[in-house]
Amino acid sequence: MIANCGRTHWHWREKVHVCFKARKPRPANISFSSRITVIDGTLVSDKQGKLLCWKEFYEGMLNRQPINPPEALREAASEATPTPSIPVSPPTIDEVHKDISQLRSRRAPAICGITAELLKAGGACSTEWLTNIRKA
């Protein structure tokens, strides 16, 4: 009976092996030519037409008219007085250096693509560059 259990166990492992061997991982069937239609419903199939459709889509999405603030907000802003205790001067080189040193490494870069490691490796040059950008 013990030999039979061992054989059954081996038989099960063999079936699993055959099953996984038969199911080889295959890449997903990704089609890079997506179906794009123009506003009137016609299908765009050429590359230049697709690029033009995407360009129009993003121009319409990103270039919207600014929203006018509500009247109550405009009135509150006109009555507001600036607080002199809040510093509005550009940061000094020491403040920028301190901020760069506090950045966490091995994080994804921001939208500009500059990583914390790059800014830290730049030393005084990158500190001065960032300070000048802020002053401009």
Write out the chain's pLDDT in tens, 136 residues.
444 444 444 455 555 555 455 555 555 554 555 677 777 878 888 888 888 888 888 887 777 777 888 999 999 999 988 888 887 788 899 999 999 999 998 887 777 788 889 889 989 998 998 898 877 6
CB 69 within 8 A of CB 54: no
- Rg over CA atoms, the chain: 31
Beta strands 36-37 and 43-44, pairing class? antiparallel
pLDDT of residue 134: 75
| DSSP 8-state secondary structure symbol assigned to residue 36 | E
| DSSP 8-state secondary structure symbol assigned to residue 28 | -
Q: Give dist(CA 97, CA 94) in Å, integer.
A: 5
**Distant-in-sequence, close-in-space partners of 54: CB < 8 Å, separation ≥ 6:** 36
Please state whether the predicted TM-score (pTM) of the whole model is above 0.85: no
pLDDT of residue 4: 44
Listed residue (104, 76, 91) closest to 130, CA to CA: 91
